[in-house]
Amino acid sequence: MSNQEIQENLTELNLGIVFSEEPAQYLTLTVPKENLHFLMSKLKLVRELSFDYLFCLTGVDWGLELGVVYHLESTTHRHNLVVKVMTSDRENPVFDSVQDIWQTANFHEMEVFDFFGIKFNNHPNLKRLFLPKDWTGYPLRKDYDDPINMIIK
Amino acid sequence: MITTKIEDRFKTEEYFINMGPQHPATHGVLRLILTIDGEIIKNVEPDLGYIHRSIEKMCERDSYQQIVHLTDRMDYLSAHINNEAVCLVVENALELEVPERVKVIRTILAELTRISSHALWWGVMGMDVGALTTFMYAFRDRELINDIFEETCGARLTMNYNIPGGLMFDIHPNFVKRVKDFIAEFKTKLPEYDTLLTNNVIFQKRTKGVGFLSREDAISFGTSGPVARGSGYSCDVRKHHPYSAYTKMDFKEVLRTAGDTLARYEVRIQEMWESVAMIESLIDNIPEGDYKVATKAVIKLPKGEFYQKVETARGELGVFVISKGDKSPYRLKFRSPGFSNLSALNKMIVGGKIGDLVAVSSTLDLVVPDIDR
């Protein structure tokens, strides 16, 4: 499916999706966090879309917002899509987990939790993956301060 | 007469056992927490982070030229290919066209890196399942590649030969001859790999049907490289998203459908043959020209998001850069192949024996710094 067709197909769902206007490598959209899980299961299950390969899951701190970027590919149609979700709640950021849709998300979401403190609903085993259990703070956030290792805001 | 089963009369209990962090079969500091019942594995949970250096955070501070240097500390056996990934993402973002000569040299070295990595994996794989000789054979062949690397750029492992815009220096005058000599030599050695290990009955019994991963699971777990191709999932980045000299080259993607440990083993052995063929087709056709194009001393990427994937010896390495137009990336993510491949380990081994775990984790070809980053 071409990017144009994917865009039309997804607009019909009425999920409040906003497509990025800036020229980019992949078709990029932002979805409200309430509709994230519904959109993701559609992307995987609708046969014309069948985005079955989640090849990258990135936590990002945009300054005011925290969010996650999902890079998707379909192994049958070989088309790509980038899904972004963000929240301005920096104290308690929560998204729905997609590990029931793509099993690879299990580890990746743990990594995002470890470094950004973003929690994922319905994740079976959300814990710090790399850092010790008693670590305070989330190092990949932009407001993380660690003067000993010369990491200053 | 005994009417009850033994299991009913003797109660068994699950218990935990640590494998690693200092275990010879985990090839680095990887700790696996096993839940076992007798000898049957019920669950495998990796405990990571023993050598986590937060390269992604360091990248937010460094210039793009410096980031290249950090990448060969991730998957050190694919150092050259990791360097290439960062260089490509910078070149694509700047819309910089590198000379054909650079593309061909990069590809030859990438394939030599792949042979060297697969050869080392083969040696260690043999050692893991109890055949120590393979280790010596593999190091004998690998040494020749490292000598070529040393003559080309001064380093044997962490190469740093790629820079954004091309190569650090031109190739050594001996390069073509030495690579040809190596290929001729290696073609006589590679059949030994089969006679020594592949056709060994003990080895076959330890690997056939062990650690099965279905095609659906391979995709769902995001596996890539020989692990996914052993399950019949066509995922070669060189084929589907070609870069450098792969765009114009004809080569076969190695696929096996069995999905077991032996299939993953066969994929890697066959890939060495494919790499040999690729180098042979390129080595006589290195175009003349410059070995780099000039870039500014301070590289600033335009505002935007850039993604580049390359095929390392372990699978798909992705570099995701979010740039705000500064000399350092705003956020840089490495999607490392080992991390996703490791997540499938539990699926592959549950229900198997502890001895199988060593064989299975060995065909995942884990490099721990690549997982920890």
Q: List, for residues B105-128, the tens digit of each pLDDT value.
A: 999 999 999 999 999 999 888 888
* B1 domain residue, yes or no: no
Whole-number pLDDT of residue A151: 63
Provide the whole-model pTM. Answer: 0.87
d(Cα B369, Cα B50) in Å, to the nearest integer?
9
pLDDT interval class at A19 (50, 70, 90)? confident
Taking an 8 Å cut-off on Cβ atoms, the answer to whether B220 and A52 are in contact is yes
* B358 domain residue, yes or no: yes
Which residues on chain A place their C-beta less than 8 Å from a C-beta of chain B? 22-26, 28, 52-56, 58, 60-61, 69, 71, 75, 78, 82, 102-104, 106-108, 111, 115, 129-132, 139-140, 151
Residue type, A121: N
Instruction: List the structure tokens of B213.
Output: 């991963």
Number of structural domains, chain B? Answer: 1
d(Cα B164, Cα B237) in Å, to the nearest integer?
21
Whole-number pLDDT of residue B3: 61
Q: In terms of Cα–Cα distance, which of A40, A21, A1 is closest to A9?
A: A1
* B319 domain residue, yes or no: yes
With beta carbons under 8 A apart, name residues in chain A contacting B305.
24-25, 28, 82
Whole-number pLDDT of residue B7: 64
Exposed, middle or buried, B128 (CB in 10 Å: 0-12/13-18/19+)? buried
Q: What percent of chain A has pLDDT over 90?
A: 9
**Pairing between strand A119-121 and A94-96?**
parallel
- Give Cβ neighbours of residue B207 (< 8 Å, ≥ 6 apart): B129, B260, B261, B262, B265, B359, B363
Q: Cα dist. B229→A148, B222, B224, B234, B271 in Å?
A: 45, 12, 7, 6, 11
Whole-number pLDDT of residue B113: 92
Which range among A34-43, A84-93, A142-151, B37-46 shows the weakest confidence by mean pLDDT? A142-151
Which segments of A1-153 does DSSP mark as H helices, in order?
Answer: 3-11, 36-45, 105-116
- Give Cβ neighbours of residue B250 (< 8 Å, ≥ 6 apart): B281
Q: In terms of Cα–Cα distance, which of B344, B333, B252, B345 is closest to B71?
A: B333
What end-to-end distance do the CA atoms of chain A give, in Å? 43
d(Cα A42, Cα A47) in Å, to the nearest integer?
9
Taking an 8 Å cut-off on Cβ atoms, the answer to whether B233 and A75 are in contact is yes
> In whole angstroms, what separates CA B243 from the centre of its chain?
17
Instruction: List the structure tokens of B305.
Output: 């998001």
Residue type, B36: I
d(Cα B231, Cα B348) in Å, to the nearest integer?
12
d(Cα A23, Cα B128) in Å, to the nearest integer?
49
Q: Read off the pLDDT of each residue in B208-234 and give the average, rounded to a whole number.
A: 89
Asked if the interface predicted TM-score (ipTM) of this complex is over 0.85, the answer is yes
pLDDT interval class at B310 (50, 70, 90)? very high
* B34 domain residue, yes or no: yes
- Are B64 and B70 in contact, with CB atoms under 8 Å apart? no
Q: Which among A54, A61, A82 has CB closest to B222? A: A54
To the nearest whole Å, the CA of A112 is away from the closest chain B CA by: 11
Q: What is the chain B residue with the closest CA to A104?
A: B221
Place of tokens 């929560």: A94
Of how many residues is chain B composed? Answer: 373
- Are B302 and A21 in contact, with CB atoms under 8 Å apart? no
Share the mean pLDDT of chain A.
Answer: 85
To the nearest whole Å, the CA of A34 is away from the closest chain B CA by: 24
**DSSP three-state, residue A144:** coil
- pLDDT over 80 at B341, yes or no: yes
Whole-number pLDDT of residue B111: 92
- DSSP string spanning B270-295? HHHHHHHHHHHHHHTT---S-SB---
Q: Domain range for residue B275?
A: 6-372
Q: From the CA atom positions of chain B, what is the Rg in Å?
A: 22
Which residues on chain B place their C-beta less than 8 Å from a C-beta of chain A? 48-49, 52, 54, 56-57, 217, 219-222, 224, 233-235, 240, 304-307, 309, 316, 318, 320, 322, 331, 333, 335, 339-340, 342-344, 347, 372
Whole-number pLDDT of residue B13: 77
A3-149: CATH topology: Beta Polymerase; domain 2 (3.30.460)
Whole-number pLDDT of residue A39: 87
State the DSSP H helix or E strand holding residue B43, giving kind and residue range, or none if neither: strand B40-47
Report the CATH number that the domain containing residue B193 is assigned in CATH.
1.10.645.10
